[in-house]
Each structure stands twice: as structure tokens, then as C-alpha cells.
Structure 1
Amino acid sequence: MVDHVFSAGLHRISLEVYGHNPRARHAYERCGFVHEGTLREALLWEGDRIDAHVMARLRDDPFPT
């Protein structure tokens, strides 16, 4: 999917993943996404405040092996 987006001409893909989902963050890291920052307590989820982690990948970033 990432290769398809970059072949369409985009230079950057970014996303947010929430702190209560570390497995998703790990999956994105395995696809080459880099943690760029944290939006502290950005989500109210079932009465708890959850951090949102901003991640991105650039076209020229190496794909992890």
C-alpha cells in the first residue's frame, strides 16, 4: 500500500496512532514509519486521556528489511 501511494506521486504519508495501541505503532514502525512527536492526552477514551503519536514516512526513506 505504501509503495502504491508513493508511486502516485506523493512525497509524505503521516498518521496518528494512539498510546493504548502499542501493537499498531510497532506495525507502522515495521513499515518504515518514524515517530515524529506526541500529542499528549489528545484523545478522551472511556474516561481516560490517551496520547496520540504522530508518525510519518517519506518517499526517500529506506524501507526496513
Structure 2
Amino acid sequence: MLGLHRIELEVYSSNPRAQRVHDKVGFAHEGTRRQALRFDEEWVDTELMAILEADWPPRA
């Protein structure tokens, strides 16, 4: 066990498929970071997602 308490990630708001995958494995949506990254000469929003140690299923 790595002893991690929190794992977080950011995903482009324009990528709902990736958001669904992270949601299915237990990540919770925590908020939107507006115009957080520059991509193809445009500012884009990202979605912040995280999972806490208590949310992770126990290992067999």
C-alpha cells in the first residue's frame, strides 16, 4: 500500500467520455477550473476530480 490519502486529476471539460471513466472508478467531481489551460490558441476549462482513501474499495 502506498499510504495515499487523496488522488486528484484534471480533465478537459470538452472530454465527457474521460469524465465518465473517472466517475465509474470512484472519482468525484469537485469543480470546474475556468480557462485553466491553453490549448490550440484558446483557453479551455478543466474539471477537477478526486478520490479519497475512504472512497477507495478495499483490496482483496
TM beyond 0.5:
yes
CA distance in 1, matches of 2:20, 2:33: 18
- Aligned positions of 1:1-65 closer than 5 A: 7-61=1-55, 63=57
Q: How much identity, in percent, do the aligned residues show?
A: 47
Secondary structure at the aligned position of 2:26 is classed as coil
- Amino acid of the structure 1 residue aligned with 2:32: T
RMSD over aligned Cα, in angstroms? 1.4
Partner of 1:4: none
Q: Which runs of 5+ in 2 are unaligned?
A: none
Which aligned runs of 4 or more in structure 1 are off by greater than 4 angstroms?
none
Using structure 1 for the length normalisation, give the TM-score. 0.76
Question: After superposition, what is the alpha-carbon deviation per residue over 1:18-59, rounded to whole angstroms, capped at 9, x for unaligned?
Answer: 112111111000010001111101122223321111100001
**Pair 31,11 (structure 1): closer, same or farther in 2 beyond 3 Å:** same
